Structure 1
């Protein structure tokens, strides 16, 4: 963009780095058993051709270096951070026993494809595979077994799952949860952050942030398609995210559903410490009433189907009554799985229950936090109720099991199990009160 850069209230000029570097390690006991070129050649037919050819080309060019060093000469990797990002005891033990490390580095210009990342990960996985070892992604401080590293690389159409490249860590602060991304800088883009997220939205907001990352990354790379690397790319101050963005980021585009878009405001948050990272912060749109956490909870209710309030109730014998009966029959089993910690990973159990009102019951959803006795459960409201002013998004609630008419397991891309009444409503079979 250079001289054409416009500073307006509608766009944020985000600086573009001149080059990007990827670094991967393959720790091992002893020296490599197979030459790097031979190891990469063994991937023929197992990698999509664009990546396989790219890895071989970069390996033969000055853009990539592969060095074997005694592990003592490489800066020590922090085991506590490796553990926080998923390292197992076995992986840490293999790292402690390693005597040497193969260091794979690649450089490339910002833009798409991110050749430095794809090629370096492929080469490191090929080397690690020859010694039944691990790949360490230095940027993400993450262990990857070779098979997982290779699966994360693009298919024949160049598609990837963004969750294989961008992590979403979070921590607690005085105002709620603080979420950040870790991975967008691989592509030259600043990391995202959100503060003041309600505690019960741990999984949901992580998925939302991944969807926003997917949307912004597309805008970012579209701005880097010219022959020359621009000094800045302009990102919209007001960005949207949809269920489709989230589903594609998780590699499930067929599950996206037709959700309304959610509007979020971007703000550049430059670091005051030269050693620290700058962020793109996500906020509710300007003029939004109420605390940010309430807006974030409402955004999740929009993006994940099955948690909107509903004031309809069923007549005996229609599709809705069958849906309620099916849901109630499954309550003992889902409670047992919840208590045993046997629900699928990255899911949240929610229940729909009725609140009395002058015009009939109003059905709202709550995220389950505890369920000590079969008769009663505790949770946090996932909806604002019309009939009861104390039932607000994020507020604690106690629900009698006899009032429950439905339940669902929510994953990053929507309802994974349950939600029978919502399916009836979505099908158009909507009985009148």
Structure 2
């Protein structure tokens, strides 16, 4: 194997396994094969065929066992990963567990995961119960589990298979992925992410996972499973990667790629996980967090700063009025955590300049007082050297001229002034 400074050799496991549980009160009324036949015509052919074939092979086992034979599933962790009270109650009332296990070689398709999830969803549907994904420690209702499986073209949403939990430490936020090991790849991690990038960096890490998973499975495409797959040390992430990972390939913008350096971080404890760490490329000056903020600004396009401002009565003036009219509502939704999952609220405000205001964007981190927004700058200002990407800012609501909600694909709500600029209407500054 050729080892160079451009590639990182990542070890490949000999085989992969998937385990799903279906809690039941009593014994299941139908066999797994009968339950899977009920999915005929509802699942894409590749998955339905995989499920039926693996059920008839030694690669899959389906057993019903007394729940007392298993260690208790941790309710606190299940709750942290989205379990509802109703799901936890059904688990507590269960007398048995249907255990679906499958094994397969590393590569694409991940037949062990697709087939085991399909069979578990079929069994859960037949008993009106739930699926427990043991790897992710997640409850899935049967409809959600089935929806996560590939379509007729073999496409999936990576967010249905890979979670991005995070925690806080003294240097900022620590992000990891949880799900790439399903496919044989080491999990990713990033440390030192600024607090205001919680949602944005989760989307970036998901896009990076999509790109690296594609490189990983390309390296496993041969007939023989290699001992190592060489991944590029400098990985690129684009808006398209993020959009595809979230299942919205048609919504991606033409963003510039962002470079991230890949480092192997082996575990010192034999029972702990090794990681692939994502860091800024070599030669980047300053703290890592500043680069991560700049990367988010690049990938979530459509929030460029501008130094133009509007005359009364023109299109820009109407855009500003529309945005300001919605400030109370968007604040209430922000405080109630009512924004879409993985979304980020940003506001546009004016900085005084010799030739009129310069309008810049800031990510909102808190908005406790109605008249004041606390956040972090999403761009470098020309008129104020203290306003830099990632720097903390306090914005008076009276200075806000626009707001927008961003997800991994760009602006999904708001951004009225940006729409005017993008349409080519350039109001002239007044003096």
Name the TM-score class by shorter chain: over 0.9
From the superposition, tell whether residues 16 and 373 of structure 1 become closer, same or farther in structure 2 (CA, over 3 Å): closer
C-alpha separation between the residues in 1 aligned to 2:334 and 2:180?
Answer: 34
SS at match of 1:271: coil
C-alpha separation between the residues in 1 aligned to 2:405 and 2:156?
Answer: 25
C-alpha separation between the residues in 2 aligned to 1:230 and 1:107?
Answer: 18
Number of aligned residues = 429
Cα offset, 1:372, TM superposition: 4.0
Cα offset, 1:107, TM superposition: 0.6
CA-to-aligned-CA distance 1:249-284 (integer Å, 9 cap, x gap): 000111111111111100011111111111100000
Q: 2:58 aligns with which of 55, 62, 66?
A: 62
Query: How does 1:183-332 map onto structure 2 within 5 Å?
Result: 183-332=179-328
Q: Is the 8 A contact 2:196 2:364 kept in 1?
A: no
Q: Is the 8 A contact 2:203 2:342 kept in 1?
A: no
Corresponding position: 1:128 with 2:124: yes
Q: 1:169 aligns with which of 162, 165, 171?
A: 165
C-alpha separation between the residues in 2 aligned to 1:52 and 1:188?
Answer: 23
Corresponding position: 1:376 with 2:372: yes
**What's the counterpart of residue 416 of structure 2?**
420
Q: Is the 8 A contact 1:302 1:308 kept in 2?
A: no
Corresponding position: 1:352 with 2:352: no
C-alpha separation between the residues in 2 aligned to 1:430 and 1:363?
Answer: 14
C-alpha separation between the residues in 1 aligned to 2:421 and 2:344?
Answer: 21
SS at match of 1:110: coil
Judge which range, 316-325 or 276-285, deviates more.
316-325
Cα offset, 1:373, TM superposition: 4.4
C-alpha separation between the residues in 2 aligned to 1:170 and 1:298?
Answer: 20
Unaligned runs of 5+ in 1: none
Q: Is the 8 A contact 2:233 2:263 kept in 1?
A: yes
**What's the counterpart of residue 391 of structure 2?**
395
Compute the TM-score of the two structures, normalised by the length of structure 1: 0.96
Q: Is the 8 A contact 1:203 1:412 kept in 2?
A: no
**What's the counterpart of residue 110 of structure 2?**
114
C-alpha separation between the residues in 2 aligned to 1:417 and 1:252?
Answer: 16
C-alpha separation between the residues in 2 aligned to 1:224 and 1:406?
Answer: 48
Cα offset, 1:227, TM superposition: 0.6
Q: 2:178 aligns with which of 178, 182, 188?
A: 182
**What's the counterpart of residue 10 of structure 2?**
14
C-alpha separation between the residues in 1 aligned to 2:268 and 2:336?
Answer: 46
Corresponding position: 1:146 with 2:142: yes
From the superposition, tell whether residues 284 and 432 of structure 1 become closer, same or farther in structure 2 (CA, over 3 Å): farther
Q: 1:78 aligns with which of 70, 74, 79?
A: 74
Q: Is the 8 A contact 2:239 2:408 kept in 1?
A: no
CA-to-aligned-CA distance 1:89-117 (integer Å, 9 cap, x gap): 22112111111111111111111110000
Compute the TM-score of the two structures, normalised by the length of structure 2: 0.96
C-alpha separation between the residues in 2 aligned to 1:319 and 1:140?
Answer: 49
Judge which range, 232-241 or 318-327, deviates more.
318-327
C-alpha separation between the residues in 2 aligned to 1:339 and 1:283?
Answer: 32
C-alpha separation between the residues in 1 aligned to 2:426 and 2:55?
Answer: 61
Cα offset, 1:29, TM superposition: 0.9
SS at match of 1:130: helix
**What's the counterpart of residue 359 of structure 2?**
363
Cα offset, 1:47, TM superposition: 0.6
Judge which range, 406-415 or 116-125, deviates more.
406-415
SS at match of 2:316: helix
Cα offset, 1:432, TM superposition: 5.2
Q: Is the 8 A contact 1:139 1:183 kept in 2?
A: yes
**What's the counterpart of residue 337 of structure 1?**
333
C-alpha separation between the residues in 2 aligned to 1:356 and 1:86?
Answer: 45
**What's the counterpart of residue 44 of structure 1?**
40
Q: Is the 8 A contact 1:34 1:130 kept in 2?
A: yes
